[in-house]
Structure 1
Amino acid sequence: MTVDGPGPSRARRVVVVAYPDVELLDVACPGDAFASATRCGALPGYRVELVTAGGRAVRSSCGITLTPERALERVPPGVDTLVVAGGHGHVAASGDPTTVEQVRRIARDSRRVVSICTGVSLLAAAGLLDGRRVATHWRHAAQVAAAYPAVTVDPTPLYLRDGRLYTSAGVTSGLDLSLSLISDDHGPALAREVARTLVTYLHRPGDQAQISMFLASGLPDDAVVRDLANHISSHLADDLSTERLAARAGVSVRHLRRLFARHLDTAPSAFVRSARTEAVAYLLSTTALPLDAIARRCGFRSTETLRQAFRDRYEVTPSRYREQEFRCQSQA
């Protein structure tokens, strides 16, 4: 997998590390995001290459075999972004001295170091995460924490940044993180264009929960609730009244409320309010849009309604939140 940007000598080098039993999406999500950014006009663009220990082809967890461009041991200095993918083979890979030493070597002078899902194990084994708070897939968080007690593993956020180190939760959160990195490099407009190219909704903010507080016991089994939750998240500016949602689902308002209470432990209106407020937080931290524009985009009738919902959720005003976020970004 190699993608050259305009003017190869100027392209940012993105090295993706894979190993046997790697998760294919953990490789493809960042790879395709950076490649799409190049095709969308990123200057400088990105040159993505896949590497493995010994340069050997590896079989992914879904059965597809990946052929690397070069051996991990032969990656030259000057890497812009080092990405370590996750997968069921992360335990074996993090126990391989050659792989761990080469990850440590490459990370030493890379501009930024990224792990997707359980790829965090390799960074931890390389001693790069001691004393740091990191993200990984909620299902594997306890395992990683037990293996690396010097690392604080947080199973909640989609991704975390600590200086030049970035860690993310499983599979598609790697796409969210990649879009965030593209936004850092080239601005939110290009990141949005990449998101549109990949036919994905605006990338989710890192502090959004992997499993929403409404889904803390697991994703809902009920098809009606699951469909509506997805619809809400991708149609925030629409009429999402309980009556309209009930009509979409073909059930009564009373029955819809019972379904949400049973499967999400909340009311439909509260779920909508939280989804909209999370989207506001994302736009405040990644764009310079005025508050009235954000209110319209996220489905709030007025800026005052937005402010009240935001204070209830984050215990801070939107303006203060944006100020804090921009300060953190400028200091990073």
Structure 2
Amino acid sequence: MTSSSPRRLVFVLFEDALLLDFAGPMQVFELACETYERKHAPYVWQICSSKGGRIRISAGLELMTTPVADCDPTDIDTLFVGGGPGVHRAAADPRLIEWLHAASPNVRRVCSVCTGTFVLAAAGLLSGRKATTHWGSCELLGARHPEISVLVDPVFVHDRGIWTSAGVTAGIDLALSLLEDDLGHREAMRVARRLVVFLKRPGGQAQFSVPLSVQSADDRSFEEISTWIQGNLGRDLRVERLAEKAGMSPRTFARVFRQRTGRSPGKAVEEFRVEAARRALEESNVGIKEIATRAGFQSEEHLRRAFRRRLNVLPHEYRARFHRNDP
């Protein structure tokens, strides 16, 4: 590919693929082309499948595809494999798996969205690498493929040219990150706004929010605790105080909280505070010191440490990158 030629994208489909897994990333790249004359567009794309022809995806739509055997792998810039109900049948399709294995060394970026990670794993592309998938399938991925270091939390993971992403809409986050690498931050943010995705999430961000994960617990009292914590971030939120609020002993509360939410109360409180600070950095012009106080951190330095620990970025860097009024 010359410096002036468009980057060729290939989206691999299969029967019962999930629509948004490929339509989301495709829309990102299509919008990136809207400000260019067609002949100067930065991307072109192709939709392929194992046998080619009509493919019925999970939404019931039928799409025309090119057989992978007719898809020249020598000039593919970025290859996407999505997930969906049919992903495990796709992962057992020898024609598709053999083509992916043979094509991947020639591809600059190989990507999966959601459970599409299982297809890449079946092709042997993730051996010895870090990867992620939809949080509900991480345990199965690890059990089937112990050669992969499965990361549960990230929205997407990049390891030596292979990109894997979490559930469904995480494919949009991944595509925006790839677009930023290709065309720059300003263009990625322009496309994010066109999609009404005002925040472009970094790969290291958790797949789902702390309030959602706590509220997902079967016990309604944990939803009430979640709501109360969010409204009282500036107060003493040590385990003793939370246990008193829940009507339990501190030891019992800590044990049950971890069982139901997968995290300790102290970790959850810090994540709530980081999430509140993130929203303030994204949506307001309030000073970082004041944000730290409002979110319940002892000092601005404690806020910086928490951001570094949770998001691998400092607060001022986060604001510069993700403030919704970013030009």
Match of 2:61 in 1: 64
Q: In 1, are the aligned partners of 2:7 and 2:77 still within 8 Å (CA)?
A: yes
Taking the aligned partners of 1:54 and 1:143, their CA distance within structure 2 comes to 28
Match of 1:302 in 2: 287
Match of 1:28 in 2: 23
Change (3 A) 1:149 1:297: closer
Change (3 A) 1:183 1:105: same
Which letter does structure 2 place at the counterpart of 1:274?
A: V
Matching residue within 132, 150, 154 for 1:153: 150
Q: In 2, are the aligned partners of 1:23 and 1:61 still within 8 Å (CA)?
A: yes
Give, in angstroms, the shift of residue 19 of structure 1. Answer: 0.3
Gaps of 5+ in 2: 233-244, 247-256, 293-299, 318-327
Equivalent pairs counted in the alignment come to 269
Matching residue within 167, 174, 178 for 2:175: 178
1:12 counterpart = 2:7: yes
Which letter does structure 2 place at the counterpart of 1:79?
A: I
Q: In 1, are the aligned partners of 2:79 and 2:111 still within 8 Å (CA)?
A: yes
Which letter does structure 1 place at the counterpart of 2:127?
A: D
**CA-atom RMSD in angstroms:** 3.6
Match of 1:314 in 2: 308
Match of 1:37 in 2: 32
Which letter does structure 1 place at the counterpart of 2:168?
A: V
Give, in angstroms, the shift of residue 300 of structure 1. Answer: 6.4
Task: Report the TM-score when normalising by structure 2.
Answer: 0.71
1:115-137, Cα deviation, whole Å (9 max, x unpaired) = 00111111111111101110100
Structure 1 residues 163-172 or 40-49, which shifts more?
Answer: 40-49
Task: Say which SS state the counterpart of residue 54 (structure 1) adopts.
Answer: coil
Taking the aligned partners of 2:273 and 2:285, their CA distance within structure 1 comes to 9
Change (3 A) 1:55 1:272: same
**Misfit runs of 4+, over 6 Å:** 262-266, 269-272
Taking the aligned partners of 2:107 and 2:47, their CA distance within structure 1 comes to 16
Which letter does structure 2 place at the counterpart of 1:189?
A: R
Gaps of 5+ in 1: 1-6, 230-240, 244-256, 280-294, 323-332
Taking the aligned partners of 1:210 and 1:117, their CA distance within structure 2 comes to 11
Q: In 1, are the aligned partners of 2:211 and 2:272 still within 8 Å (CA)?
A: no
Give, in angstroms, the shift of residue 218 of structure 1. Answer: 5.7
Match of 2:163 in 1: 166
> How do 1:248-267 and structure 2 match up within 5 A?
none
Change (3 A) 1:147 1:183: same
Change (3 A) 1:318 1:118: closer
Taking the aligned partners of 2:24 and 2:84, their CA distance within structure 1 comes to 13
Give, in angstroms, the shift of residue 310 of structure 1. Answer: 2.7
Give, in angstroms, the shift of residue 106 of structure 1. Answer: 2.1
> How do 1:47-62 and structure 2 match up within 5 A?
47-62=44-59
Task: Report the TM-score when normalising by structure 1.
Answer: 0.70
Matching residue within 54, 70, 74 for 2:70: 74
Which letter does structure 2 place at the counterpart of 1:27?
A: F
Q: In 2, are the aligned partners of 1:20 and 1:60 still within 8 Å (CA)?
A: yes
Taking the aligned partners of 1:219 and 1:206, their CA distance within structure 2 comes to 23
Taking the aligned partners of 1:278 and 1:208, their CA distance within structure 2 comes to 11
Q: Identical aligned pairs, as a percentage?
A: 33
Match of 1:95 in 2: 92
Which letter does structure 2 place at the counterpart of 1:39?
A: E
Which letter does structure 2 place at the counterpart of 1:119?
A: G
Task: Say which SS state the counterpart of residue 207 (structure 1) adopts.
Answer: coil
Change (3 A) 1:87 1:185: same
Q: In 2, are the aligned partners of 1:94 and 1:100 still within 8 Å (CA)?
A: yes
Structure 1 residues 303-312 or 59-68, which shifts more?
Answer: 303-312
